[in-house]
Amino acid sequence: MKIVIAPDSFKESLPAAQVAAALGEGVLEVCPDAQVDLCPMADGGEGVLEAMVAATNGRVLTSDTFGPLGEPMRAHFGMLGQATAAGLPGELGVAGALGRADSFDEAPGEGRAAVVETAAACGLALVRPDRRDPTRTTTFGAGKLLLAALDTGSREIIVGVGGSATVDGGCGCAQALGVTFLDAGGRACVCGLSGGGLMDVRDIDLSDRDPRIDDTVIRVACDVTNPLTGPAGAAAVYAPQKGATPEQVEQLAAALEHLAEVIRRGAGVDVSDLPGGGAAGGLAAGLVAFLGAKIESGADLVAAEVGLPGRLRGADLCLTGEGTLDAQSRNGKAACTVARMALEAGAAVICIPGQAATDAPRELFTGVRPLVDGDVTPRQAMLHTADLLKRRAVETMRGFLGW
């Protein structure tokens, strides 16, 4: 029996690789002779790096960079492996990859795609709650990670956006790659632009942009469709989550409107209504405007890169899951994307989420078996995620086999 295990991470509980491993242990307890393929997934937000490195048996590298408030730090980025990884729980995972590579020796990026998770350098989790202020935070460090990815020799970079502490329209990131923003006097704006400095920008100079960008395909893995500006834009929807006061939300909304006009004039690109452009405080729009990137559905992109459609061929069953399965899961989230591909491949697909809301799209799955059920409370599910995942996998396999 062939079983593909392709879950997303359970936020604040377990990364996707560990979710997959726990489910795999449960499967093998019931079916020790099963062919189990662990394929951790992500949809463009946090977890893209871990999922893609684990699923392709890739490598994790580290680089010097800067945090959202400009503090020096080191952060991870990844290189995809040349072959997909399949095996038993414990044989795969980012923990192993972290032990294999820590530098740029052996030109690991030649011919391979690099993966940058921008939250590694500008994520909200990197800023203490009492210091969160998107008028001061910058994506400059994310740009430094992109430079490190270019230094490996890779000419395809997959950028996972999501979970940022920033609303700078991607200007800080662009500065790290040589883009210059000019003020009203024609002077270069301060390096590490933040949301609070966007109103100073009057023009854009791309002449010193890193020339390797011209030969590099940059793909933005995105899990939202919000635009850069407007009532559903980056400032209105996401700035409050990053610590902005109501007054700062208005300030940032006006700043992004202004930036969109400067981009329209200076770069000849209209990103104001671009679907997904508002992701990571407008970083996605900035990557398109300043680096020529393309925004894609994160779950579809990750599935293609880890070879999920091919791995599902001939599978009898696919197990997937995510923290919460609800109506929003239909909009490009990983579990529903996996379900669609599994059904197209002729495999049964069962979702094991942390919780399943009343509006969860149960009809997309052969079955749904949430952790929070019966005597299991949400708190218990958070504290004992791995054990409960294994238990649900055991129950699922017994039910699937008719025991």
In sequence order, what are the beta bridge partners of 160? 117, 221
Domain membership of residue 316 (yes or no) is no
pLDDT at 104 over 60: no
pLDDT for the residue 86:
42
pLDDT for the residue 100:
32
Domain membership of residue 97 (yes or no) is yes
**Per-residue model confidence as pLDDT tens digits over 170-218:** 999 999 999 999 999 999 999 999 999 999 999 999 999 999 999 999 9
**How far does Cα 133 stand from its chain's mean position?**
22
Residue range 258-279: mean pLDDT, rounded: 95
pTM assigned to the model: 0.85
| pLDDT level of residue 111 (50, 70, 90 thresholds) | low
pLDDT at 40 over 60: yes
158 and 289 belong to one structural domain: yes
pLDDT for the residue 88:
36
Query: Which residues touch 121 (CB under 8 Å, ≥6 apart)?
Result: 65, 66, 67, 68, 73, 75, 139, 141, 142, 144, 145
Single out the residue of 99, 142, 105 nearest to residue 122, CA to CA. Answer: 142
Domain of residue 230, CATH code: 3.90.1510.10
- Mind giving me the DSSP string for 330-366? GTT-HHHHHHHHHHHTT-EEEE--SEE-TT--GGGSS
**Per-residue model confidence as pLDDT tens digits over 315-360:** 999 999 999 999 989 888 899 999 999 999 999 999 999 999 999 9
156 and 126 belong to one structural domain: yes
Q: Which of 267, 299, 331 is the last residue before a domain boundary?
A: 299
Domain of residue 7, CATH code: 3.40.50.10350
Which domain range does residue 362 map to? 2-38+323-401
pLDDT at 83 over 80: no
Question: How far is the CA of 14 from the CAs of 21, 22, 68, 384, 386, in angstroms?
Answer: 11, 10, 24, 10, 8
| pLDDT level of residue 99 (50, 70, 90 thresholds) | very low
Single out the residue of 210, 202, 209, 167 nearest to residue 186, CA to CA. Answer: 202
Q: Which residue has the tokens 């579990």?
A: 335
52 and 25 belong to one structural domain: no
pLDDT for the residue 82:
64
279 and 330 belong to one structural domain: no
pLDDT at 52 over 90: no
pLDDT at 250 over 80: yes
pLDDT for the residue 98:
30
**Per-residue model confidence as pLDDT tens digits over 125-146:** 999 999 999 999 999 999 999 9
Instruction: Tell me the pLDDT of the chain averaged across its residues.
Output: 91
Q: Which of 299, 331, 366 is the last residue before a domain boundary?
A: 299
| pLDDT level of residue 85 (50, 70, 90 thresholds) | very low
pLDDT at 112 over 90: no
pLDDT at 277 over 60: yes
Contact between 304 and 241 under an 8 Å Cβ cutoff? The reply is no
pLDDT for the residue 110:
52
Helix ranges, 180-278 (H): 246-266
34 and 78 belong to one structural domain: no
Residue range 60-82: mean pLDDT, rounded: 95
Q: Which of 262, 284, 299 is the last residue before a domain boundary?
A: 299
Contact between 112 and 80 under an 8 Å Cβ cutoff? The reply is yes
Work out the percent of the chain whose per-residue pLDDT is above 90: 83
Domain count along the chain: 2
Contact between 222 and 238 under an 8 Å Cβ cutoff? The reply is no
174 and 196 belong to one structural domain: yes
182 and 95 belong to one structural domain: yes
55 and 143 belong to one structural domain: yes
295 and 146 belong to one structural domain: yes
pLDDT for the residue 12:
76
Work out the percent of the chain whose per-residue pLDDT is above 70: 93
118 and 193 belong to one structural domain: yes
SS3 174: helix
